[in-house]
A = this chain, B = another copy of it.
């Protein structure tokens, strides 16, 4: 039998209405009865990642945001510009749960031994709908956190750590020897620096301010270039000569940056080229765009020969492509280094209700480096 206090719970929902209105609300949902192989996790920590915000905000203009509803169940509304609404055609009028990853305590379990064995354990989980008080998941999908690890320490176990490890694994699989990373002072970027320092991999960090450069220098980053500096192209080319990086992961997406990276890679390669080729070098150069901090079009001037590629990169297809054994190894590394390499730092821990305060939305929606929020749906 279920404990009375787990029968229902609040769950954050985002709806893009066909009238062009975003509505974020807290729905009261019935916690399902776990099937034999399932468990119910009481969520105690779930980060607000940039990758959650596309689903959460549906491209709405947050300067128009208003709050209504009650203290316990506030409702945020904001208008969605027509262009953004068209891009949301696939989700219009659907009330969607939000939140990619979380950690919490198993409070109920199905009858199967694997499920029963998790009762009372602190586990990390993934799969959407984590901004909720309770989440039903398969026992086999739970990552049991080591004793002494809090839900807050384990909540961001999936998106950033596996993305950073996935970048390094992609580099190896595709035959590159060093990496470039943009928006590099982010939580993810800091993890990537720790991995590359530990594993002896060259990493060129591109940041957009002196302050961000300082964050990275403090954690020991070797190559940091500032795209707002007048010497950016020269600085980047020099760092590419030193590292030999021919693969970049770009969180910015829009504007000229992806093309500038390819141009500098080609210039770095040609510093050692011996023969003129009108098609450019034959060294393959790749930029993977994995984020869209700049929503403008990507502008490629193609001043980098013919041996190049630009494409999208996502964690889920990467994980589907690698072997189960490789995927397991990556998860094991995350657990082993959860308090070191993969430690996340939060500026705020908020309840579901507080996550809907306009004052908080104004901060976390900026997705500014150094401002990271954690939701505790059972805070109180």
A interface residues with partner B (beta carbon < 8 Å): 54-55, 87, 90-91, 94, 96, 253-254, 259, 270, 273, 276-279, 282, 289-290, 292, 297-303, 305-314, 316-317
Nearest Cβ in chain B — how far from A170, in angstroms?
Answer: 13
Is B306 touching A297 in the complex (CB atoms < 8 A)? no
Is B307 touching A317 in the complex (CB atoms < 8 A)? yes
Partner of A311, one of B54, B259, B292, B310: B310
Interchain CA distance A276-B308 in the complex, whole Å: 31
The chain B residue with its CB closest to the CB of A320 is B282
Known contacts A297-B259, A298-B302, A309-B311; is A90 also within 8 Å of B292 by CB? no
Nearest Cβ in chain B — how far from A166, in angstroms?
Answer: 13
- Interface of chain A, main secondary structure: mixed
Interchain CA distance A375-B277 in the complex, whole Å: 24
Is A309 touching B310 in the complex (CB atoms < 8 A)? yes
Give chain B residues whose Cβ lies under 8 Å from the Cβ of A90.
270, 273, 276-277
List 17 interface pairs A-B (beta carbons < 8 Å), by A numbering: A54-B278, A55-B278, A90-B273, A90-B276, A90-B277, A91-B276, A91-B278, A279-B314, A289-B302, A289-B306, A297-B302, A298-B299, A298-B301, A299-B300, A307-B312, A308-B311, A309-B309
Nearest Cβ in chain B — how far from A6, in angstroms?
Answer: 29
The chain B residue with its CB closest to the CB of A292 is B302
Give chain B residues whose Cβ lies under 8 Å from the Cβ of A305.
312
Give chain B residues whose Cβ lies under 8 Å from the Cβ of A311.
308-311
Give chain B residues whose Cβ lies under 8 Å from the Cβ of A55.
278
Interchain CA distance A87-B54 in the complex, whole Å: 40
Is A314 touching B310 in the complex (CB atoms < 8 A)? no
Partner of A313, one of B259, B300, B306, B313: B306
Interchain CA distance A270-B254 in the complex, whole Å: 24
Interchain CA distance A300-B306 in the complex, whole Å: 17
Interchain CA distance A300-B258 in the complex, whole Å: 11
Interchain CA distance A55-B96 in the complex, whole Å: 56
Give chain B residues whose Cβ lies under 8 Å from the Cβ of A273.
90
Is B317 touching A312 in the complex (CB atoms < 8 A)? no
The chain B residue with its CB closest to the CB of A305 is B312
Is B309 touching A314 in the complex (CB atoms < 8 A)? no
Is B299 touching A306 in the complex (CB atoms < 8 A)? no
Nearest Cβ in chain B — how far from A25, in angstroms?
Answer: 19
Q: Which of A253, A299, A300 has the most CB of B within 10 A?
A: A300
Interchain CA distance A282-B314 in the complex, whole Å: 10
Give chain B residues whose Cβ lies under 8 Å from the Cβ of A278.
54-55, 91
Nearest Cβ in chain B — how far from A250, in angstroms?
Answer: 11
The chain B residue with its CB closest to the CB of A90 is B276
Nearest Cβ in chain B — how far from A255, in angstroms?
Answer: 11
Interchain CA distance A309-B298 in the complex, whole Å: 13
Is B314 touching A306 in the complex (CB atoms < 8 A)? yes
Nearest Cβ in chain B — how far from A211, in angstroms?
Answer: 28
Interchain CA distance A298-B256 in the complex, whole Å: 10
Give chain B residues whose Cβ lies under 8 Å from the Cβ of A290.
306
Give chain B residues whose Cβ lies under 8 Å from the Cβ of A310.
300, 309-311
The chain B residue with its CB closest to the CB of A253 is B302
Interchain CA distance A168-B311 in the complex, whole Å: 21
Interchain CA distance A259-B299 in the complex, whole Å: 11
The chain B residue with its CB closest to the CB of A281 is B90
Nearest Cβ in chain B — how far from A283, in angstroms?
Answer: 11
Interchain CA distance A289-B311 in the complex, whole Å: 13
Interchain CA distance A301-B86 in the complex, whole Å: 14
